[in-house]
Structure 1
Amino acid sequence: MDFIFKNIKLIINIVIVAMLTTIISILGSYFFQVLIDNYIPNGMEQMLDIVVMGLIVAYVFNSIFVYSRDFLLAILGQKLSTDIILEYIKHIFELPLEFFSTRKTGEIVSRFTDASKIIDALASMVVSIGLDASIVIIIGVTLFFQSIRLFVITLTALPIYIIVIMTFAKKFEKLNKHQMESNAILSSSVIEDIQGIETIKACNSETVRFNIVSEQFFDYLNKSLSYIKIDSLQQALKIFIQQSLNVIILWIGAKLVIQNQLSVGQLLTFVALVSYFIDPLQNIINLQPKLQSAKVAYTRMNEVYLVKSEFRDENFNYTTQKLLGDITLSGINYQYGYGKNVLNNVSTTIKVGEKLAIVGMSGSGKSTLVKMLVKFFDPTSGELEFNGYPSNSISKSSLRSYINYVPQIPYIFSGTIEENLKLGGREGVTLKDINRACEVAMIKNDIENMPLGINTKLDENASILSEGQKQRITIARALLSPAKVLIFDESTSSLDTITEKKIIEQLIGMKDKTIIFVVHRLSIAKKAARILVLDSGEIVEEGSHSELLAKKGYYYKLLKA
């Protein structure tokens, strides 16, 4: 209801304009009565001319009012869209990373379609409550004075309409839910297949994936058809009731005319006005299936809203200078859900300006550990401090300004190269800064060789770039950020060894940055001042390359493997 009260002035204007169109329509209906009962029998040509000219002028205003009503309704729809859909998008951006790891993209996106059902229901409710109810009362009173007997007959249709609506209520809710769920599954599969099209083609599995999507598509069609069948049946019954009502009114009305209890003009006017009475009445009754669709849609959207924003308990916002200091991990444990621990009693201190490498076999907990530093995950137990400040006292926005995490799989957004490089960049980034970052990332020459240089437009995930070029752009992007700590999680895995070596050497040469490398290639680890060796979520060894080789322990075995 907050959405309605927020736009109450607009709604009042819609109701006023719509009421004016209704009044003009009622006056037009009465023209038939006076035409047949007075003007034609009495030969009142002059009066007829005046009334016709008056009606034409009234219909000109009526057209203006109709345009105004529809335009205002469109504005209301846009305002509701802004309040509902944009709020949903904003909430999605603020959800923690765990949410996206357990949901398919299509399931999240399908809620936008659900939102349109809520908007439609709210707009219909506004019109029905504010306008249709008023018209029903006004026309009802008019019909009552026109003919009490015919009005009573008209009212008998109301309980029949309600019975028809209530009979289908539960069926509509069930079919609506099934249809929306089926649509979400189909959307997820299509998005997943498009994103993985290279793998599909490489595995020669186009037919297999198409068959899966085809099966889901026909399931969605069948569920949609089931809904349409029930809806069409209900609409057919409503039409039958309305047509039967019109016939009965004409039948009884004709008898009243024959018995001189009603004039022909009054009967025709009553029949014309009945549609103005029944239509808004049907609109009110038809709110039921729309509200049911909106209820199901709201429930589905609420499943996402129930997941709290990761910024809901934001604590202190610190500057990067205030957080500048040692990063201390004490007895850190972490587990996904109810599974076994991914990290076990991890304790270490990362010094300011240190160049650290984290190595280990796949599944040893390397990525989980560094993602914890940017609060993608919170420790199950243990303490994590930045320059003495506990991580739970630092806002995520502050921490992510201080630490920049670069993942192994780079993502480039549609837009220019410059826009991608400046994403999350510090204020006042100059072209000189961009060139310097691109030089360090060894991507400057590649950009200059492109048609429009730094202004070259890229499509979604930059299909014109190689994986190595994408990785280098994300490295340059990180260098343009205000972060004092840079985490590279296998961020050079797609590069050739020569280019990788040059980039790593330049990164290690940065005195003002703390840099953490998560690596499989131990050639990178050799260059780091200190190496952490993880196995099954535990730090089993730490030290420089030469120190670890001398121990001939787990690191030595990895190097020789």
Structure 2
Amino acid sequence: MRSLTRILRFTGSLWKYYAGVVASAMVVAVTSLAVPFVVGRATDLAVAGMRTEGHNVVPIIWLAVGLLALDLVNSVTTNVNGWLGDVMSARMRQILSSRYFSKLLSLPQSWFDEELTGSITSKLSRSITNVTDFAKAFANNFFTLLLTTVAVLVISAWYYWPLTVLLGIIFPVYVWLTALTSRHWQARQQIINEHIDTAGGRFQEVISQIRVVKSFVTERSEQHHFDEHYDRTVGTTREQSTHWHLMDTLRRAVLNVVFFAIYAIIFVQTARGVFSVGVMVMLIQLMAMARQPVQMMSYIIDNAQRAVSGSKDYFEVMETRPSYAPKVTDGSRPTRVSIAEDRPVVSFEDVSFSYDGKDQVLDRVGFTIGRGERVALVGESGGGKSTIVNLLLGLYPPGSGSIEVGGRATSQIPVDELRRSIGVVFQDPSLFSGTIRENIAYGSGSEVTEEQLLEAARKAFADRFVHRFPNGYDTLVGERGIKLSGGQKQRISIARAILKDAPVLVLDEATSALDTKSERWVQAGLESLMAGRTSLIIAHRLSTISSVDRIVTLDQGRIDEIGTPAELAVSGGIYAELLALQAAGSRADRKRLAKFGIRM
């Protein structure tokens, strides 16, 4: 119950709904409990009326009217209770989902490196569904049943205490037998959840990369692995359900025996004249009302177990305390890093970094980038170029050393302020489903005007193809921009960066996946984007590298050389080697160039 209590604390803003549920449940319970008394009294009057001249018709009619009134009030209040439970569970779903999403957005990149997207989604869906289903069942049933049970115990004690003793036995015994089942059920449910999360994660990956799956003809193997996980859930569910229903049979058998004794007592006491016929009818109805919550307990406990299991997954994410928690702003007006005139715009000083804490990706890397300067990073694939970009964006903290932007250490700059100061064009454009307009304006806020958006598209040369679409900028691009070509997607991402208008620009192999014609347009857009900005470029063509102000070459995570293209062309280092390989042009040379991500 600790997990459920935490959910209630987590959703404390719903207290008005909780209070309404309790109040309406009390009314439902009172009106339900009053019915057996009215029926019992009417029964006694009817039996007595058989021996009187007036047959007690008038008081019986009034009792019938009372029954009608009780039923009407009960019906209205039951539906009010149900409405409150439905709205409460919907609001609870909203609160829990919003906080879960907010938590995910606050977690660092390293956390997502260890999780499958599908598993994250699956946990959210299952956790929220289990918790809200229980909340609805709890609101619509539990309070009414609890109040009814307590009242029946008190009333039965008033009329004949052995009935209360028998009821007092069945409730704890039933709960105890259910508790024996609970531990087994939850252990098996955890196994089921793990298989479902793994299968869901793989499902997400396969669907998002369906072209790769089809091109490598791996449909059958993917289907096999997916089915294998769900096959295991069936076997575990069979074991789980067998244990549950065997225990439920035992619980019901105990229930049947106890209620046999209860009804036998009532019938015998009536035959002896201790109870009138009306009291007998009333007690039978009360016992039936007492039996209902016992039988409903199995359903409520089943929902509670699912909620407990789901809430564990939920709070496991909510309680994540990442080792790296970047500084954020206090929510005031968005700002950018102020670039000091007399300081480098970007500075890396003795920066080392490892993703796994063992293998060093960067080893004491140091370089600076001045205002308006274009600097290219060159090195073999896996040499640390993209890692430098990740560290600059604050996605990971450096293991040692310092990184400064505008003369301030990135560790002291709120991460949202830092990232507003850096425009990025990735190798993968990473568009969102929606319109071209929405993708260009993404991250720039609602204050962006139509003129600014169109100007950014023009500078990125995106307007040249957008106008060919019937819906223009309102054209839907599909998931990840699947309806657009690679060059079109990249030009939209360049327009997005132009509209952001950040003082620092990072180009992470922005044209490496394009054909020659598309690359020409994209390169033209990049020239517009880089104008007047400080740029860090991971380039894949020597023509691009040769036009920068300085080159930083990396060799296995270490700085090899830093200098102008002219200086490094005759230094005998990596850049000079690349130029020589390009001039030679043999197959072996092209293979060597490919290791640096360089295309001829």
Please state which band the TM-score falls in when normalised by the shorter chain.
over 0.9
2:490 aligns with 471
1:99 is paired with a residue of what secondary structure? helix
Which residue of 315, 325, 338 maps to 1:322?
Answer: 338
Tell me the distance in 1 between the aligned counterparts of 2:543 and 2:246.
Answer: 72
Residues 279 and 458 from structure 1, CA distance in 2 versus in 1: closer, same or farther, beyond 3 angstroms? farther
TM-superposed CA distance for 1:207, in Å, is: 0.9
2:556 aligns with 536
1:350 aligns with 369
Greater shift after overlay, 511-520 or 210-219? Answer: 511-520
1:164 aligns with 177
TM-superposed CA distance for 1:461, in Å, is: 1.5
1:523 and 2:543 aligned: yes
Q: Is the 8 A contact 2:490 2:522 kept in 1?
A: no
Residues 374 and 267 from structure 1, CA distance in 2 versus in 1: closer, same or farther, beyond 3 angstroms? same
1:49 aligns with 61
Residues 550 and 371 from structure 1, CA distance in 2 versus in 1: closer, same or farther, beyond 3 angstroms? same
1:230 aligns with 243
TM-superposed CA distance for 1:237, in Å, is: 3.2
2:218 aligns with 205
Tell me the distance in 2 between the aligned counterparts of 1:404 and 1:54.
Answer: 74
2:365 is paired with a residue of what secondary structure? strand
Residues 37 and 540 from structure 1, CA distance in 2 versus in 1: closer, same or farther, beyond 3 angstroms? same
Tell me the distance in 1 between the aligned counterparts of 2:143 and 2:556.
Answer: 65
Q: Is the 8 A contact 1:132 1:284 kept in 2?
A: no
Residues 359 and 312 from structure 1, CA distance in 2 versus in 1: closer, same or farther, beyond 3 angstroms? closer
1:458 is paired with a residue of what secondary structure? coil
Which residue of 26, 34, 38 maps to 1:27?
Answer: 34
1:411 aligns with 430
Residues 164 and 321 from structure 1, CA distance in 2 versus in 1: closer, same or farther, beyond 3 angstroms? closer
2:481 aligns with 462
Which residue of 538, 545, 556 maps to 2:565?
Answer: 545
TM-superposed CA distance for 1:30, in Å, is: 2.1
Tell me the distance in 1 between the aligned counterparts of 2:282 and 2:147.
Answer: 20
Q: Is the 8 A contact 2:174 2:294 kept in 1?
A: no
2:570 is paired with a residue of what secondary structure? helix
Tell me the distance in 1 between the aligned counterparts of 2:548 and 2:28.
Answer: 78
TM-superposed CA distance for 1:202, in Å, is: 0.4
Which residue of 305, 310, 332 maps to 2:318?
Answer: 305
Q: Is the 8 A contact 2:40 2:279 kept in 1?
A: yes
1:388 and 2:388 aligned: no
Q: Is the 8 A contact 2:21 2:139 kept in 1?
A: no
1:337 and 2:337 aligned: no
Q: Partner letter of residue 282 of structure 2?
A: T
Q: Is the 8 A contact 1:401 1:482 kept in 2?
A: no
Q: Can you list the C-alpha shifts for 1:291-336, whole angstroms capped at 9, x where unaligned? A: 4443433332333234337656436888336136521111111111
Greater shift after overlay, 283-292 or 376-385? Answer: 283-292
Greater shift after overlay, 304-313 or 200-209? Answer: 304-313
1:8 and 2:31 aligned: no
Greater shift after overlay, 339-348 or 21-30? Answer: 21-30
Residues 76 and 489 from structure 1, CA distance in 2 versus in 1: closer, same or farther, beyond 3 angstroms? same
2:467 aligns with 448
2:500 aligns with 481
TM-superposed CA distance for 1:347, in Å, is: 0.8
TM-superposed CA distance for 1:537, in Å, is: 0.9
Q: Is the 8 A contact 1:311 1:396 kept in 2?
A: no
Where structure 1 has 5 or more consecutive residues not aligned to the other structure, the ranges are none
- % identical aligned pairs: 25
1:415 is paired with a residue of what secondary structure? coil
2:500 is paired with a residue of what secondary structure? coil
1:429 aligns with 448
Tell me the distance in 2 between the aligned counterparts of 1:5 and 1:401.
Answer: 35
Tell me the distance in 2 between the aligned counterparts of 1:73 and 1:426.
Answer: 37
Tell me the distance in 1 between the aligned counterparts of 2:300 and 2:525.
Answer: 66
Q: Can you list the C-alpha shifts for 1:468-506, whole angstroms capped at 9, x where unaligned? A: 222221111111114111111112223233442444355
Q: Partner letter of residue 387 of structure 1?
A: G
Q: Partner letter of residue 11 of structure 1?
A: Y
Tell me the distance in 2 between the aligned counterparts of 1:26 and 1:133.
Answer: 12
2:585 aligns with none
2:284 aligns with 271
Q: Partner letter of residue 31 of structure 2?
A: I
Q: Is the 8 A contact 1:361 1:520 kept in 2?
A: no
Q: Can you list the C-alpha shifts for 1:64-98, whole angstroms capped at 9, x where unaligned? A: 11110000111221232223221111101111111
Tell me the distance in 1 between the aligned counterparts of 2:75 and 2:143.
Answer: 21
Residues 507 and 448 from structure 1, CA distance in 2 versus in 1: closer, same or farther, beyond 3 angstroms? same
2:487 is paired with a residue of what secondary structure? helix
1:149 and 2:162 aligned: yes
Tell me the distance in 2 between the aligned counterparts of 1:315 and 1:421.
Answer: 25
Tell me the distance in 1 between the aligned counterparts of 2:517 and 2:563.
Answer: 26
TM-superposed CA distance for 1:265, in Å, is: 2.4
Please give the TM-score of this superposition, normalised by the length of structure 2. 0.87
Aligned pair count?
561
1:66 aligns with 78
2:576 aligns with 556
Tell me the distance in 2 between the aligned counterparts of 1:223 and 1:451.
Answer: 54
Q: Is the 8 A contact 2:385 2:538 kept in 1?
A: yes
2:361 is paired with a residue of what secondary structure? strand
Tell me the distance in 2 between the aligned counterparts of 1:527 and 1:148.
Answer: 97
Q: Partner letter of residue 217 of structure 1?
A: Y
Residues 550 and 4 from structure 1, CA distance in 2 versus in 1: closer, same or farther, beyond 3 angstroms? closer
1:375 and 2:394 aligned: yes
Q: Partner letter of residue 220 of structure 1?
A: T
1:259 and 2:272 aligned: yes
1:86 aligns with 98
Q: Can you list the C-alpha shifts for 1:263-310, whole angstroms capped at 9, x where unaligned? A: 232222212112333434565676655444434333323332343376
Please give the TM-score of this superposition, normalised by the length of structure 1. 0.93
Q: Partner letter of residue 24 of structure 1?
A: T
Tell me the distance in 1 between the aligned counterparts of 2:241 and 2:423.
Answer: 51
Q: Can you list the C-alpha shifts for 1:345-391, whole angstroms capped at 9, x where unaligned? A: 11111111112221211111000011111111111011111121111
Q: Is the 8 A contact 2:178 2:298 kept in 1?
A: yes
Tell me the distance in 2 between the aligned counterparts of 1:92 and 1:263.
Answer: 66
Greater shift after overlay, 233-242 or 452-461? Answer: 233-242
Q: Is the 8 A contact 2:560 2:573 kept in 1?
A: no
TM-superposed CA distance for 1:132, in Å, is: 4.1
Q: Partner letter of residue 262 of structure 1?
A: F
2:45 aligns with 38
2:453 is paired with a residue of what secondary structure? helix
1:139 and 2:152 aligned: yes
Q: Partner letter of residue 205 of structure 1?
A: T
Tell me the distance in 2 between the aligned counterparts of 1:257 and 1:526.
Answer: 106
Where structure 2 has 5 or more consecutive residues not aligned to the other structure, the ranges are 50-54, 582-588, 590-600
Residues 313 and 282 from structure 1, CA distance in 2 versus in 1: closer, same or farther, beyond 3 angstroms? farther
Which residue of 94, 103, 111 maps to 2:115?
Answer: 103
TM-superposed CA distance for 1:182, in Å, is: 1.6
Tell me the distance in 1 between the aligned counterparts of 2:142 and 2:15.
Answer: 12
